[in-house]
């Protein structure tokens, strides 16, 4: 320590929320000019730690040093003044303003008539190869552009430390590659980049060192070159773990769902789905890939009867679902679970306990006026045991107080327990730890073996390729292609997600 001072040093950081210890005695050292990954499962304390470095939280105990000097952040402003910038998962930009205005916002002198400042922004943008059109309104930007803008904001303020909180979760493989180039450039310019992620391959590709967190404590800091995904996973999870995803190979069954010419128009007149057509068979998992907001939600909701359909048909056993009420569709055995970004927006009643939430899909089949809670209580106990849900109690404990992973287990557990014939599941593993992810993949495989027709919408292309039989790619509400998951690459899907049809049509599965 005497002859070497780390750029950032966090020592003995502890932070608790109520009874939950989010960070316990965490130590972290980051050097100038390095890309440092924070790796850990959900709830390991990565975001909490970074929020303390960026001044959003204050630690209960422990110290933060910058270049050897002790600092104490009471607000994000203190942290920004000290040269630390953070890009959050959810972008903090003003949608109706231009890129340049967003950058200048909150800076001395305001946002008006700033020719020189604009020049400076353009310069920085140029230097780091950030692709941001300064006069473009944020509203019209793609996710990748918005992210670049966030980074530009940080750089403009002259920050030397950049924290990226799961930046690649919303990007296509191509956009991710561009982001990595920007990160490398920052590194060359002597910045320190903290990269939060749980995607192993990205950590391996871009970072110099990795600090693994588990359950709120620092496990180890390693040089990326001297480690491998297997070792990192073990450190992260705490035990040995098979990372491969098994695909059940079996003959698919009969046609379950035939969607043809499905068009959905949103209230604002935007076409959300354009002449979508595909077929889903019993006993197969059909994956759906696409950039966020390409029509996945509308597709799910149309099948579940929640979305008004402008034209087209969704045929199931001779009935057109587009003309039925949600209740009728549920009775037909079609179940949908959609895990939105906030995890609670749909499907679960946040303020109710687990029993009531399970009751939600059961009570309508009960006879008479009164509720019978018994079956739901039994089911709650069963699901709790089977899926290892951690909860202080199945009754009188609102599900919103459970951790994200447990909430999702309740949701998916309920849908699977209804023994559906068609299961539509969107983002079921969103933000879950590796263990639980694999449990859920297993559940989907089980369903497939039971000849359930599964429509599986997911962000992680690796998983889609490993788990699904076929993959349908959506771009801007259109089906670009339905491809065989056995012989397609991530890059090809990435291109299709951007709306480009991949040549060599032999990968296309005939659709009749």
Partner 1 sequence: MVIRLFQIIKRSEITTLKKTINMLIAIFLALVTVAIFLAILGYNPLSVYASMLDGAFGSNYRIKQTIVNTIPLVITSLGILIAFKMKFWNIGAEGQILIGGFCGGYFAYNFAYWPKPILLLVMLIAGFIGGGLWGLLAGYLKTRWHASEAITTLMMNYIALKWIVYLQFGPWKDPNAFGYPTMSRFAENAIFPKLFGVHIGWIIALVLVVAVHIFMTRTKKGFEIAVIGESENTGRYAGINIKRTMLLAIFLSGALCGLSGIIQASAVNNILSSTLANGLGYTAIITTWLAHLNAPLTLVVCFLFAVLTQGGSFIQTAMGIPSSVATVLQAMILFFVLGSELFNNYKIVRKNKQQKEVK
Q: Which is nearer to partner 1, 47 or 172 (CB)?
A: 47
Helix (H/G/I), strand (E/B), else coil: 98 = strand
21 binds partner 1 (CB under 8 A): no
374 binds partner 1 (CB under 8 A): no
Residue 79 Cβ vs partner 1, minimum distance, rounded to whole Å: 9
488 binds partner 1 (CB under 8 A): no
Residue 303 Cβ vs partner 1, minimum distance, rounded to whole Å: 12
C-alpha to C-alpha distance for 248 and 446, rounded to whole angstroms: 9
Q: What is the DSSP annotation of 48-61?
A: HHHHHHTTSS--SE
Closest CA to 465 of 201, 177, 236: 201
Helix (H/G/I), strand (E/B), else coil: 451 = coil
Residues 167, 179 contacting (CB under 8 angstroms) = yes
Strands of 41-131 (E only): list them.
Answer: 61-66, 69-71, 84-87
For β-strands 453-457 and 35-39, DSSP reports them as unpaired
Selected binder of partner 1 within 322, 330, 416, 485 (CB under 8 A): 330
Closest CA to 289 of 470, 510, 486: 470
Q: Which is nearer to partner 1, 44 or 304 (CB)?
A: 304
Q: Which is nearer to partner 1, 24 or 178 (CB)?
A: 24
C-alpha to C-alpha distance for 75 and 52, rounded to whole angstroms: 9
Selected binder of partner 1 within 33, 293, 326, 499 (CB under 8 A): 326
Residue 419 Cβ vs partner 1, minimum distance, rounded to whole Å: 17
Residues 395, 355 contacting (CB under 8 angstroms) = yes
Residues 335, 388 contacting (CB under 8 angstroms) = no
Q: b/e string for 472-509 if b means 16 or more Cβ within 10 A?
A: bbbbbbbbbbbbebeebebebbbbbbbeeebeeeebeb
Within residues 48-67, the interface with partner 1 by CB under 8 A covers: 58, 61
Residue 187 Cβ vs partner 1, minimum distance, rounded to whole Å: 25
Selected binder of partner 1 within 92, 190, 345, 489 (CB under 8 A): 345
Helix (H/G/I), strand (E/B), else coil: 26 = strand
Residue 463 Cβ vs partner 1, minimum distance, rounded to whole Å: 25
Selected binder of partner 1 within 7, 54, 73, 138 (CB under 8 A): 73
Residue 492 Cβ vs partner 1, minimum distance, rounded to whole Å: 34
Q: Which span sits near partner 1 by CB under 8 A: 113-121, 127-135, 272-280, 357-365?
A: 357-365
Closest CA to 186 of 154, 210, 217, 214: 154
Selected binder of partner 1 within 201, 253, 351, 446 (CB under 8 A): 351
Residue 352 Cβ vs partner 1, minimum distance, rounded to whole Å: 7
Closest CA to 355 of 370, 373, 369: 373
C-alpha to C-alpha distance for 160 and 84, rounded to whole angstroms: 6
Residue 348 tokens read as 């679960």
Within residues 390-449, the interface with partner 1 by CB under 8 A covers: 392
CB atoms within 10 A of CB 189: 12
Selected binder of partner 1 within 50, 82, 100, 262 (CB under 8 A): 82
* 218 burial via Cβ count (<10 Å: 0-12, 13-18, 19+): buried
Selected binder of partner 1 within 99, 210, 336, 479 (CB under 8 A): 336
Q: Which is nearer to partner 1, 25 or 484 (CB)?
A: 25
Q: Which is nearer to partner 1, 38 or 352 (CB)?
A: 352
Residue 336 Cβ vs partner 1, minimum distance, rounded to whole Å: 8
Q: Which is nearer to partner 1, 191 or 330 (CB)?
A: 330
Q: Which is nearer to partner 1, 290 or 347 (CB)?
A: 347
Angle (nearest 5°) at CA 463 between 252 and 468: 10
Residue 401 tokens read as 């107080």
Residue 370 Cβ vs partner 1, minimum distance, rounded to whole Å: 5
How close are the terminal C-alpha atoms of the chain, in Å?
A: 69
166 binds partner 1 (CB under 8 A): no
Q: Which is nearer to partner 1, 34 or 78 (CB)?
A: 78
Q: Which span sits near partner 1 by CB under 8 A: 46-54, 74-82, 450-458, 471-479?
A: 74-82
290 binds partner 1 (CB under 8 A): no
Selected binder of partner 1 within 1, 4, 74, 268 (CB under 8 A): 74
Angle (nearest 5°) at CA 20 between 14 and 22: 40
Phi, psi for 475 (deg, rounded to 5) = -145, 120
Selected binder of partner 1 within 65, 91, 180, 363 (CB under 8 A): 363
The binding track of 96-135 with respect to partner 1, each residue x by CB under 8 A or -, is ----------------------------------------
CB atoms within 10 A of CB 103: 29
Selected binder of partner 1 within 21, 56, 71, 451 (CB under 8 A): 71
Selected binder of partner 1 within 11, 143, 332, 360 (CB under 8 A): 360
C-alpha to C-alpha distance for 56 and 122, rounded to whole angstroms: 29
Positions touching partner 1 (CB under 8 A) are 17-20, 58, 61, 69-74, 78, 81-82, 304, 306, 325-330, 336, 345-352, 356, 359-361, 363-364, 366, 369-371, 392
């Amino acid at each position: 320590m005497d002859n070497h001072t780390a750029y950032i040093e966090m020592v003995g950081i502890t932070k608790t929320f109520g009874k939950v210890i989010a960070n316990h005695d965490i130590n972290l050292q980051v050097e100038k000019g390095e890309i440092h990954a924070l790796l850990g499962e959900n709830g390991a304390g990565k975001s909490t730690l970074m929020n303390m470095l960026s001044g959003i939280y204050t630690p209960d105990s422990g110290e933060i040093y910058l270049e050897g000097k002790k600092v104490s952040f009471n607000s994000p402003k203190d942290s920004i003044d000290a040269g630390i910038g953070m890009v959050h998962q959810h972008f903090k930009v003003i949608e109706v303003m231009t890129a340049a205005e967003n950058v200048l916002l909150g800076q001395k002198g305001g946002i008006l008539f700033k020719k020189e400042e604009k020049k400076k922004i353009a310069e920085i943008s140029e230097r780091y190869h950030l692709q941001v059109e300064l006069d473009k309104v944020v509203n019209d930007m793609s996710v990748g552009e918005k992210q670049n803008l966030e980074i530009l904001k940080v750089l403009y303020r002259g920050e030397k430390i950049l924290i990226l909180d799961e930046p690649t979760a919303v990007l296509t493989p191509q956009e991710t590659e561009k982001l990595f180039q920007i990160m490398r450039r920052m590194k060359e310019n002597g910045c320190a980049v903290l990269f939060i992620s749980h995607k192993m391959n990205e950590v391996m590709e871009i970072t110099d060192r990795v600090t693994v967190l588990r359950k709120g404590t620092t496990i180890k800091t390693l040089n990326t070159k001297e480690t491998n995904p297997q070792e990192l996973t073990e450190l992260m999870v705490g035990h040995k773990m098979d990372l491969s995803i098994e695909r059940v190979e079996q003959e698919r069954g009969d046609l379950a769902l035939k969607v043809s010419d499905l068009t959905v128009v949103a209230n604002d007149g935007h076409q959300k789905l354009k002449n979508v057509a595909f077929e889903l068979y019993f006993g197969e998992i059909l994956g759906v890939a696409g950039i966020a907001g390409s029509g996945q939600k509308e597709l799910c909701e149309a099948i579940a009867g929640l979305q008004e359909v402008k034209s087209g048909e969704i045929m199931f056993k001779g009935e057109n679902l587009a003309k039925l009420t949600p209740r009728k569709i549920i009775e037909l055995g079609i179940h949908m679970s959609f895990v939105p970004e906030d995890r609670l927006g749909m499907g679960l009643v946040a303020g109710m306990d687990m029993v009531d939430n399970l009751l939600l899909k059961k009570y309508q089949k009960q006879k008479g006026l009164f509720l019978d809670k018994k079956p739901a209580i039994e089911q709650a106990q069963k699901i709790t045991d089977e899926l290892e849900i951690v909860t202080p109690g199945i009754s009188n404990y609102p599900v919103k107080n459970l951790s994200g992973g447990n909430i999702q287990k309740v949701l998916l557990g309920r849908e699977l327990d209804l023994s559906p014939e068609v299961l539509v599941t969107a983002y079921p593993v969103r933000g879950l730890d590796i263990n639980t992810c694999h449990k859920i993949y297993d559940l989907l495989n089980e369903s497939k073996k039971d000849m359930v027709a599964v429509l599986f919408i997911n962000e992680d292309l690796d998983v889609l390729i490993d788990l699904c039989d076929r993959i349908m790619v959506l771009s801007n509400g259109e089906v670009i292609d339905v491809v065989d998951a056995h012989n397609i690459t991530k890059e090809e899907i990435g291109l299709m997600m951007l709306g480009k049809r991949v040549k060599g049509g032999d990968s296309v599965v005939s659709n009749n």
